[in-house]
Structure formats: structure tokens, C-alpha cells
Structure 1
């Protein structure tokens, strides 16, 4: 039986799993299970070798049969297994079985690590099993990869330390692999706030890389400078003998200085000093070649350093209102030696580009071109920089939507598109990521509804490139798929758009965009089923609004209005039509009462009718409660926007009013707070965004200055809703200005009494307008419309301050200025001093949008 099972397992390894449940794997498993279930005594003799359980479990796991793997391991541990390599391999197989599939399950990671450390502990004791320690480290790296990103590395801090120590205990000869793990361990300790341990590991890693893998010492130096893990003066003294590393140290110090956003630092001057230093020390590139030539150790079948190293995300990606995201510093794996000067210049050029110094970037790139080098990676990164530089050279015009600026940006994107495809052929993951991040940054201004069509193809290429290397830039990939879903939706490719949203949801670790993505996916499902009537009134309203959008180019205003009214009625069956009736002509029925009906009496009746019908919105939220309030607010906003686009103004005004009922501070954004002065270890003085402050450790301590205000953690969905309310405030105010103009009145103007040309009976005495109650009511109504319009603009500015988004405040200021332009030309400045002063204060708080 032993030989039969081995033959079956050998055929599976050679040919794979064929014929489904009748395959050789299933036959071998059934034989093992039959014997295990039928034997009367667990201590009796075996009909085959005990190792077959482990072999079958490993092969089943490799072929995607976790149930068979689990059962084989259960049968293996039913009897006390012999202490040989198969016990260690069983532990490793069990750890793979328990490994988490995403970073959202750290408890599952702990369970998997327990078995992996058992295997390492057993294998370390016997020299002949040391190879299993190495295998365990590779398996560990594979299933912990989802955690190799900011705020998740902390879960690897302790376990990775034990894996590194195990490799050190057996003195494994794959020095490059050990160095990569040690570098990752530094970042894990920093992420966990263990700055003392991070400093100790960084010193050990620096010595290790200097002795065995000099090419990786640059990465250690980056981390030491970035997190200030060692004394900077001491580092400078140690690097004096190597001009290349001295220049790199200067670049890193300038970067840290600029990242601290010290207003006293002259960015151009500091970067220019570094450039002169590199050009002056040209001979240093040859001096370091001897050091980089020393690399020893065996070459194994482990993944390459570039593909297996943790992605260090340290450069912020510009993003619009939704969020910001991070990137891998490109070129970290470029070797030193004869090419040190171009590499240093490349590093400096990236820094110059990041801090908006296009002139210095141009000079740096020109000096790079004068160097002799053949590294394809450096050439590709230089191509990325040059493409981005063509846009940066536009200066302030780069954010404008003029045809010339647009054409320059499109040409740069085409150039980058070709460069990214070349990077994919080159195969270095870091180079691919650098190109994709540069590409994304240039695409950001084109993520507008009327411009998305121009970047659909290029974003698809970027998404596929990042997916091919399974990039750890998770949030970047998530946002790219979000934007691609919008592009595909615009092209009526609904199923493709849904696929992109599903990928975005899968990539949304931490759930930052979960609600936004789920809402968008649900809307697309409704759109794909336009001919099936949903039972939920909210879904009915969403479907009707979608139908109204699709019918925007056809049909009359009355047809569009009827469709929009159905959506409003689905959202509010009790009040919507009553409030919509506020602008109807039904007030004329009782306009004059028993007396003579005049123009002024009609106006007064109109004002009274409007205010009476508007009061029907009172109690709407009380009747509904908080049920589905987020969905309802979004749908009212969608209805208002659709009605505005189709110029159905009365529906727009009513939908806006219902939407703004939700502006009751239910989704307010808490203000940032300043952190107090705290005592921390000197190594923890320069933490980056999103990283934990270390607790003080033993040794020398010093007082840290007060940190800048800490941004409160608010979900993107709440920020989306607050931003949506600001937009509806703008929309409602504009719609009310339209209502004022339909009355023949500009914003903040007073109405002029109409000329009464009607015939009157004998003895009729005309009242003065200022004494006529109907005219007074009408004037008060007009004034309330103007006041509410201005209040809407100012409230939007307040929400912009809450969100800390200058564009909202600037838009509010522009609206108030433009719609009051007639007031300014008539020298009535005193009337709008109050709103302008409030807007000026708001601009001082958030700054100007550009």
C-alpha cells in the first residue's frame, strides 16, 4: 500500500490534479483515510509510512484542496509523530493553512505564526534540518505580505524578530535574504512604536550590510535618517570616507528637513547646495565601486530582492478631497558602484520635483545625461521625471484647463504610458510602481466628468501593471479602480464598471472607502436592472433618478419634471408634492379674498402660500427617524443635481430643501487638536504621518516640542456626506437666486411696487405700497430669500472649514462676490460687509485654493 500511495502522489506532482474527484490525489487521500478510520488501535503498526500524511497534505495544499490538507494533518497528529523533518513540515503546512488572506485579520496571523515558530524551534536544534528554518522564513514572508504596509507592519514586529533571530542563530549563508528581512524588521518596529528596538536592529543591520551586502546599506541609511534612529553627527563622521554615501546622507537630511515643513527653510537653496556637492564630488562614484563589489553568500531559489522587499511608502501622493495616498521611493534597489553619480542625481531630481523646483530638476537631469551608464532602470526613471517635468514647467498654468495646458498634460501622459509599458517589460517592481505613481499624479486634474474619457485607456494600463506585480500600494490601486469604474460607467460599460468596483472593495483594507464603493456598486446593479421594479422605495427612487439622467437629452421639460416628481414622491410620499406646490399657481384662487384683486394682493398671496407650503417639511425627519438617513441624503442630493442639470428649477429647490434637513450636525467633522508636550526618546523625534509615537524607553530623554495639530480620524463616507451638503448649499442658493430673478429681482435688492393699471370703481382710494399688508408680506418674503441664499453660501464655507478643503471656501467667496456684483457697482458695499468679512476669516483659516 505504501508504494501505491507514493506512486499516486508522484503522479499528482508530475501531472497535476486530473479527473476531479477521481484524481490520483483523491485516491491517495481515500486510501490514507480508510486505514486511519479503520485501525482499531492508534498505537498499532502502520500499513504505510507516517510521512505520507504530510506529503499528501502538502500536495493537496499546493493544488488548492485545503479540506484534504486539514484532514491529512489531523490524521498525522492522531498518533504521536516521530521527531523528524516531516513533523517540521507538518507544522509549516498547518501555518500555511491558517494564514490570513488579508490584513484585516491579524488574529489569524497569530495562529499561523504559532505553528511556524514551532517548526523553526524544532529545526534549529538539528543541523541537518537548518534548511527548514530558511524555508520557514520564505513561507512566513509569503503569508505576511498583506501586512507590509503602514499601520499594519506593527502586527509583524515580534514574529519577524523571531524569524530573523532564527536565521542569525543558524548563520544562514543567504546574506541578501537576511538583510532584506532585517530592513523590513526596522520598519515593523517603527510602525509598532518600538523605537528603541528599531534603533538596535538598525545598527545591527548597518553592520551586517556593510560586511556582506554593501548594496543594501543605502536602504538602512534611509531608515536611520528618516526615523532618526541613530545620532546624525555620528553617521556623518562614519561616511566621510565615502563621498557617494555622504552625498546620499545630505539628500536624506534635506528631505527630512523639508518633510517637517519648516517655513524658515529655503527649499531652493538647500537643494542647490546638495547638487553642487554631488557635482563637486564626482570622483566619489568610483571610490565606492570597490565596496559594492563585495557581496557573498549563496544564491537560492528565493524570490528576488526587488520583488520580495517590503514596499517602503514614504512619499505622499497628491489627492483630491477624498484622501491622500503613499508611494514606494523608486530606485531603492539600484546598485551603487560606477553608476553612483547618476543614481545620486536621480535621487536629487525626484526630491526637486516633489518640492516644485523644476529649474533644479532640469539641471539635475541634464547632468545625468552627461554620465555614462547602461542601467535600464535609471533610464526609465529619468523618462518618468522628464515627462512629469514637461507639466511642472507650466508653473501656475499646470492646474488650468486651457487647451494648451491640457495638450501638454495629455502628451506627457502618452509619454508616461509608453514608459510604464517599457518598465513592465523590464520587470523591476519598484520601477513599475514609480512610473504608475507618477502617472497617477499627472492624471489627477483630469478626473473630471467631462475629461475622464481621455485617461480611461492609460489608467487601465496602470491598473493592470500594478495588478501584475501584486503591488502593495493598496490604496492607490483601490482609487484607480474607483476612477476606472466611473470611466466605464460613462461609456455604458456597466458590467466592466461593476468588476472595477468589486476589485476596489477587495483592495480597500481598513474600509476607508467601503460605504462609498458599496453605494456605487448598488446603484450600478439597479442600473443594470432598469426593467425590474424594486420593492424598496429608496431603490425605486434611485432607479427613477437613473432613468431621469438617461433621458436628459430627450423629452420636454414637462416629461422630465414628471419623472423627477416620481422620484421625490418615492422618497417622501407625505410631504414632497405639498412642498412642490409652494410655487404653483393655486394661490390665485384666494388671492384677493372678498375685496378687489390687485397685483400687490396677488404677490402677497403668493408669498403666504409659499411659506405655508414650505412649512410642510417640518417634522419630515421626525416621522422617518434615522432610518436609511445616509442613503436618503444622497438620493435627495442626486435628485437636486439631476433637476438642476435639466433646469427643472422647482424640483431642484424642493429636493435641496429636503436634503439640507440632514445638515443638523449628525455628520460633523471633529476639529484637530494639538498634542501636549511629551517626553520621548530621542530616536522617536521624527515620526511620519500615520505612525505611532513610541513610549519612552530607558536611556537619555529629551522634551519634544509641541506637535502640530493632530487630524482626527474620520471615515471617508462621513466626509463625503459633509462635502455633499456643502455642494447642495451652493445648489440651493443658486436655485433661490433663480427664483428671485424669476420675480425680476437681483440678490439683496428690494422689490419695486408694480404699477397698477387696472380699472377701479368710483371712490377707490389706492393704498401706499409701504402701508399695504400684502406688499409688506411680499417684501419680507423676498428679503428672506436673499438672506437664506447668503446664509447657504456661508454655511457651505463653514463646512469647508470643517473639512479643511480650501476649494469649498473659495467657491463660497466666488459665489457671494459674483452674485453681489451689482451691489458693488452701485457702491452699496456696506450691505455685504458682514458676509465678506466672514468669508475673509474663513480664507485665513484654510488658505486659498490657488
Structure 2
């Protein structure tokens, strides 16, 4: 090789003779490949080595040349083994490794070296994630043939590749988690092998890899899954007296947190003490503080001497209960959504039951001080929306709402106001708990389909029933607390408290109102109406009256079960005839309970229309709110088959002529709407031209309501083909577009 030009000439002469495919041709290609200088002639050199390999692997006596070619190839491409340039080696490297596999080369360590150091990097760098993951698994299988030390190297490489693949797949969080847990399980097996072979270097390598791979899973809802592997890691490192002190301290600290979540306080304290012994001083304050609080938690029912310790003990009580109520429920990996929700329900119920014995353990002399501290904590937690702390602290406070609350020596109004605040916050925090489970207040639990199947085994159905009952209990509990807060507000004559509770219930049940599920809210809203009759916010009362009225008539209207009265039987006695006559007066065939509900709904609507008459400026109720009651009132009149009359006099004693004019138009429009389905009775309605004229003369106070009226009138006129009136109505509607849009953005009485 001292005269390159001469060698090149000789090679050229040799190839011009078309030599046979034997080992001499292979050696010629190997020589020619070495003469090429990378990276300028990288591709030509690679082609020479690959041609030599292709010829050698088909000649049984020349298979050793495959190994030689692979070594020369690796030496040639070594300068290109850099991030960003790996991708140019993907195809050729795969051919080299595959050829070594085909000839069953016995130098497994060399094959492993190629697989570990080169191929996965190239595939990852080129963006071929599926191929990289697949090849990594092949690499892993190959590595199981060797000692634990080599296995550790393989595990590091495999994990690095798989991590790269998973990191680039941002839409497969669950897949990443499951794959990571699977690899942790394999590393756990390799650690067992390394310990059995008494190889300290391998043990430390596997432990370090295991810790690095567990780090992303140290989350509140996942770290229990890696408790056992981490315990084996720290035990293995402790047995060999490893000098990896920092890592050992960190693992003990995390294990202490896991043990504390599970209620194993002694085990948690042991881990913290070991972490402090191994710590180099950087985490001393944090670890000692955690150990101190843990010791206080272990003696919750002993009264500390120092005030600071008393406050710390109270915080531990709250956060202990918070962790119990909100900690991850035990469940089997891979269980379906129904089983997981059931586990959380059972865990929450059991945790709440643990509070029962708390009150008896507290001294009577500290009750007032304890309550004051807890109430302060609730206020702070509510301000920052730390809902789990709110639930825990409120639950502990309200343990005293058994008659003891009134015995505390303080101003009665302040005492009751504090109680109202705690009850309201507890209700809000309970609603938030429902929302974290994907459920709205008073919404039923929905039976999900697991794994694409609609069939449920008895165990799954039992789990669903448990979850359903738990969700219903939480909804009932939140509703009860809001109502209780309103009742206490009424007792201390604070109408704003009652209104506040009503607004909370209205907003939290807005999904049911939007879906028209009024019947589910009748009892709740009816009790609020009775408490709200003397408050100044009449719009709120009117809305609640309307919602209750709609709920009362919904079983009749929704099921469309009103049938015409049956023919009179001549054999009936006088009493029966009188009863039937009453039924005819009141409309269709209704049983006594349904008739009573409809009449009650009419009373509520009459009351709502009366208080929304706007006779004085301070009693003003938006016409949009009055419009809702008008629609319900007209529907009830139809159910009872009571005519309103063409003069449209609703007898609401309204002295405001502008409001009366708008109301008459609204009633007329609703009667026309009911006449579209005149199954039992048709209202006597003024002509369309009269209604259009009445609407034109009104001084509308709400552009949205006016727009709705003109659109409805336009539709009615179009149905009777009165095109001149259609043009009149649509012209008026189009003029309101901008005003209505602006009004929608600043809608009043958005509760």
C-alpha cells in the first residue's frame, strides 16, 4: 500500500477481466473499499464492503470473510457515528448485522456491539421509531445469552432506544406508561440475576438504570406501581454497601412518601432516617422536617405542649384526611374504567368513615381553638382553590355541627355565619369532587362500554352499581349542604345567603336546565322558592318558579299521556258524573296526583307573573325572564283546556302599560305555537295582522326577545302564505341584528 496509484491500476485490471465470484473477488472488494477515504467516498466504500459480504455469505468456505468485512466496514464508517449523520448508515448497517446473523457468526460479542452501539442510534436518528423499537427488542433477546454485566449494558441501550421512541410519540401516554412498567419488570429480573452472580458492577449498573427509568413514574397516582422494584434496588445497594449514596438517599425518600400514602408510618419513618444518614447535607432540612411531621402524625390524638406543635398537628390531621379521601385507590393494573371508579368510590367511603372516631378523641377545652384554626385553613384553601384540603378541613369542622356548635361562647350571628360559610364551601368542594370524576351535579353515572363490548359480567355490574350509588350520594350531599346553608340564612334573616345558595344550585344544575330535565330539580327548587319569597331579587324567584312549574308538568307533557276523557257511562252514579265533569273542565283525562301537580304549576306561574309585573321601578324583572314564565303559563292553560281569550288578559295586575303590551304579544305568540298541535284544544287567537301591529307598537326593552318575536311571527305568516306580513316581520328582525348581538354579550341575570 506504499504506492496507491499502482494498486488502483491493478484493481482496475483485475475487475476488467470479469473474475468469478469467489474469495479472491471478495478480497479485491475489501481492498478497494479500504482505498476509499470517508466521508468523501463513503458510499463507494460501503458498496465495496457490501458486495464482498454478499459474495462471502453464499460460499460456505468464505463465511469468515463476512466477519472481516464487517470489521473493516465499522472502521470506515466510524467517523460518521455522530448525531445528525447516523441516518446515512441505516441501510448498510442493517445489511451488515443481518448478514452476520445469516452466517451464524460465533463472535456474539461483536454482533452485540454492532447492535448496541450503532443500529438503534441510526434508526432513532432517522426517525424510524417502529423499526428502532423492534430492533431494540431483538437486541434485548440477543443480550440474554450473556452474563449479567453484558445484560446490564443491553438493558441500558434498549431502554434508551425505547425511551427515545416513546418520547417522540406524544399521543401515546398510556402506551409509554405501560411500556415503561414492562421494562421496569425486566430490569427487576436482571437485578436478581446480577445479585445471584455476585457481580457488584452489574448490580450498580442495573440499579442506576432502574432508578432513572422509575423517575418519570414518581407521580401521585403511579408511584405505588414501582414500590416493589425500588425496595429491591435499595436493598441490593445496601447489601453491597454501594457508594452511590446520593441515589440511595433519593430512593429512600421516595419510598418514605409511598409508605406514608399507604398509612405505614413506621416504615415511612425508617426510610426517612436512612435517607438522612445517606444524605450529603443538601436535603437535610427537608428530610428532617418531613420526619418531624411524620412523628406528629403518628401521635395525632396526643395533645402537644407547644403551640407550634398544636398547629402542625392540626395541619397533619387535615392533610392526613385529605390524603385518605383523595389518594389513589388500590386497583389491579389494566382494570377497566368501571373497576377503577368502583375502587375510588370504596376507598373514599372507607376513608370518610375513619373520621367518625375523631371527635371523641378531642378534648372539650380545645374545641373552640381547633375550630378557629380549621375555619381559617378552609378560608385559605378556598381562596387558592385547594379543594382536597377544603373537603378535609370542612369535614373535620362540621363534626361539631351536632348541637355543640351553638354552645360555643361567641356572637350568635358570627357563629352561624361561619357555619354557613363552611357548609357552602363543603358543598362546592363536593361538586368539584364530582367534576374530577367527569360527572356534573345530579347527573346519573353512565354505564361505559369496556374494551368495545356492551356485555358486562356480574362483577362489572356490581362495580358499576357501587360507583353509581357513590356518585348519587355525593350529589345528594352537595345539594343538601346548599339547602342547609339557605335554611340557616333564612333563620338569621340574611336573604343574600338564601339567594347565594340558590344561585349556586342554579349554576351547578345548568346542564339539567339546558337539557330540559326540570323534574329532577322540583324538590330542590321548590324549597328555595318558599325561602326566597321576601328577597329583592325577583328575577331569581321568577326563574325558580318557572323551573318548578315546568318540572311539575313535565311528566304529563313529556310523556304526552293526556288522553281525551272517556265516553260517559249511563250507569254511573251522580258522584261519578260529578268527578268526570270536573275532569272535563280541567282538560284531559288526568289522575288526581297529576291534576294536583298541574294546578300547583299554574299557581306558581300566576305568582311569578304577579311579582314580575314591574309596578314599581325597584321591582323590575327583565322581559326575557317574564317570557319564560309566559311560555309555561300558556302551556299549562292548554293542559287544563282553559281559554285565555282573544283580548289576551292574563290578570297579572300589571300597572306598567309597556310591560303589559309586551306580555300580550308574548302570550299571543305562545298561543299560536300551541295551536300548531291542536290535539285537545285550540286557543282563540287574534289575527296575525293584529299581532304584528301589536308587536310594532311595543316599546321593547330587550333586543333579543324582540328578535325572537319577529322571527316567530314571520314563520307563522309564511305558513299561511301572507307574504306582505312576512316581509314586514323579516324587515323588523333584520334591523335588530346588531343590537341583539350586543345584548347577548352583556346578558343580565346570567346567574
Q: TM-score, normalised by structure 2?
A: 0.35
Larger Rg: 2
The structure with more helix, counted as a fraction of residues: 2
Q: TM-score, normalised by structure 1?
A: 0.31
